[in-house]
Amino acid sequence: MKRILRLFAFVSVLVLAASCACKDEYGYTIKGNQIVYNTPARPADQQSMLGFAAEPIEHVRVGLIGLGDRGTGAVWRFPYLKDATIVALCDLYPDRIERAQGILEELGAPRAIHEFSGPEGYKELCELPDVDLVYLAVPWQLHTPIAVYAMEHGKHAAIEVPAATSIKECWDLVNTSERTRKHCMMLENCCYDFFELTCLNMAQHGLFGEIVHVEGSYCHNLEPYWDNYQGDWRMTYNKDHHGDVYPTHGIGPVCQDLNIHRGDKMDVLVAMDTDAFAGQDKADERYGKGAVEKYANGDNTSTLIRTRKGKTILVEHSVVTPQPYSRMYQVQGTKGYANKYPNEEFNVPGLALGGAALKDVAYDALDAEQYMTLKEQEAIMAAYKYPFVTEIEDLARKVGGHGGMDFIMDYRLIYCLHNGLPLDQDVYDAAEWSSLVELTEVSINHGSMPVVMPDFTRGEWDKVDGLTFAMAK
C-alpha cells in the first residue's frame, strides 16, 4: 500500500511539474500546447510610467558605470552635450577610470569628481547626492541589479542592451521604475539610426499604408571581439543559453513602427534555433576540446511574433558564422516597403512606395514593386527626416558612435531630462524588447512551443496613441 501511495505521489509531482513549469508570480504555466506567462497585478504603491515626465533638470549630472568598449565610447560623446556633465566614473579596474579621465581632459571637459572601482563600487556611485542619471555599460547580468539599485537611490537609469536577461528582471525594472517614479530607459541606439528614424516618420505619415510585417536582426560575426569582453562574459553567457540573447537591436526599431504598447501589443512568440555547429567549434578552440560539453546558443536563432492587431515580426540572431554585418530592418506595408541591410552598405535603394502613398510628391509611375531610384529615395528621405534629426545631424556625424546614432540617442535622453519631457523609450520598451532573451530560450527548450508573452503595461497597451518624440515648446 505504501509503495502505491509513494508511486501516486511521484506521478502527481510529475503531472504538476509538466502543467506548471514555474509557479512564481513572474513565471509561466503550460496550458495545452502553449506556454503562458503570468502578468501579476500592479502593487498598490506603484503607478503606470506611460507618458511619465520627471521634473526638468537644469544640468544633468551623469554617473557612468562600466568603462570597457561601450562605456568608453560614451565618454567620448558626453562632452559634446551642453546640458550634461559626467561627474562620476566607475569600473572594476582603476586604470579604466584613469583612461576615461584622460579622454575627458583631451576633449577639454572637466575630470569627473568621483571615482569608484571594484565589484561593489557602483553602490557608492548610486548613493551619491550629486548624480541625476546613472548610465550603465556593464556586462548583461549586472544591468538590472545595478539599475534597480540606482533607482532605489533616487537616480534615473539608462541601461545598455539588453536591459534584462530574464522575465523576473524585466518585472524588477518595471516595478522599481513604477514605485520610485524614476525613468528607466534602455539605450537601444538602433532606434536612432538615420534610415530607421526617417522610415518611422514615413510610417507615421502613412506612406507604408498599414504595416503588416516587419523584420529585424543582429547578424554580426563576433570573431574579432570575443577576447575583448571583460572576464569573458559574453561567450560565457552564449555557451550557457539557447535563444536570442541579444534581441533588442533587431526588435527595437520595428516595434516602434508597429506602435507596440502604444496601440498594439506583442501576443505570441515562437523561437527556433539551429544546432551550435560553429559555436561548438569556437568553444573547442577557445577552451580546449571537451571543456564545453555542449555549446548551447544556436548558430542562428529565428523568432516569430504575432501582435494583437494581426501583424508579424521576424527577429534573427547570429554571431558565430562568417557573414557580412546585418542589422536587418524591413517594413512591409499595404502601400510600401523599406529595407535596410545589406542594401545600405552596397548603396542600393531600399524604398519601394506606391505612387498613391505620395500625395505631395510627383513621381513617375511608382508601383511599389520596384525599388525607387537612389535620387527618388534621397528626395523622399530628406522630405521625411524628423526636424530634431536635421538639427543635430552634422554634430552627430562628427561625434559619431555607429555613424552618429549613438550621439542622437544620448542627445535625446539629455534633451528630455533637461526639459522635463517623457523619454523616447520607456521602461515598458526596455522590458518588452529584453523579454525575448528568456521567452525565446523557453520556447526553444520546449521544442519551439508558442509562448504567450507577459503584458508589462498590465492591460494599458492601447492607452497611448502612437509613439511621439516629445519636444519642448
Ligand X SMILES: NC(=O)c1ccc[n+]([C@@H]2O[C@H](COP(=O)([O-])OP(=O)(O)OC[C@H]3O[C@@H](n4cnc5c(N)ncnc54)[C@H](O)[C@@H]3O)[C@@H](O)[C@H]2O)c1
Q: Which residues bind ligand X (CB under 6 A)?
A: 65-71, 90-93, 96, 119, 121-122, 137-140, 142, 160-161, 189, 228-230
* Beta carbons within 8 Å of 107's beta carbon, 6+ residues apart: 76, 79, 80
* Beta carbons within 8 Å of 175's beta carbon, 6+ residues apart: 43, 46
Of the CA atoms within 13 Å of residue 286, those in its CB half-sphere come to 19
Helix (H) or strand (E) holding 87: strand 84-91
Helix (H) or strand (E) holding 185: strand 184-186
Tell me how far, at minimum, the Cβ of 133 lies from ligand X, in Å.
Answer: 16
74 or 357: whose CB is closer to ligand X? 74
Of the CA atoms within 13 Å of residue 131, those in its CB half-sphere come to 31
Tell me how far, at minimum, the Cβ of 159 lies from ligand X, in Å.
Answer: 8
Distances (CA, A) of 428 to 35, 135, 149: 21, 18, 18
Tell me how far, at minimum, the Cβ of 188 lies from ligand X, in Å.
Answer: 7
Tell me how far, at minimum, the Cβ of 436 lies from ligand X, in Å.
Answer: 14
Q: Which amino acid is at 126?
A: C
Beta bridge partner(s), residue 352: 337
- What is the distance of C-alpha 236 from the center of its chain? 20
66 or 250: whose CB is closer to ligand X? 66
- To which residue does cell 539599485 refer? 149
Alpha helices by DSSP H, 58-207: 69-77, 94-106, 121-127, 140-152, 167-180, 194-204
Tell me how far, at minimum, the Cβ of 162 lies from ligand X, in Å.
Answer: 7
28 or 341: whose CB is closer to ligand X? 341
Q: Which amino acid is at 368?
A: A
Set of cell numbers at residue 384: 521625411
Pairing of strands 34-37, 28-31: antiparallel
110 or 118: whose CB is closer to ligand X? 118
Query: Which residue number has the CB closest to ligand X?
Result: 68
Tell me how far, at minimum, the Cβ of 222 lies from ligand X, in Å.
Answer: 10
10 or 93: whose CB is closer to ligand X? 93
Set of cell numbers at residue 409: 540617442
69 or 378: whose CB is closer to ligand X? 69
- To which residue does cell 559555436 refer? 279
The SS3 call for residue 414 is: helix
Contact indicator for 283, 239 with CB cutoff of 8 Å? yes
29 or 166: whose CB is closer to ligand X? 166
Tell me how far, at minimum, the Cβ of 163 lies from ligand X, in Å.
Answer: 9
Tell me how far, at minimum, the Cβ of 113 lies from ligand X, in Å.
Answer: 18
Tell me how far, at minimum, the Cβ of 72 lies from ligand X, in Å.
Answer: 7
191 or 368: whose CB is closer to ligand X? 191
190 or 467: whose CB is closer to ligand X? 190
Rounded to 5 degrees, what angle do the CA atoms 67, 72, 77 make?
140
Residue 240 CA to residue 389 CA, distance in Å, equals 40
Tell me how far, at minimum, the Cβ of 438 lies from ligand X, in Å.
Answer: 16
227 or 360: whose CB is closer to ligand X? 227
Residue 424 CA to residue 429 CA, distance in Å, equals 10
Q: Which phi and psi (to 5°) does residue 378 adopt?
A: -60, -40
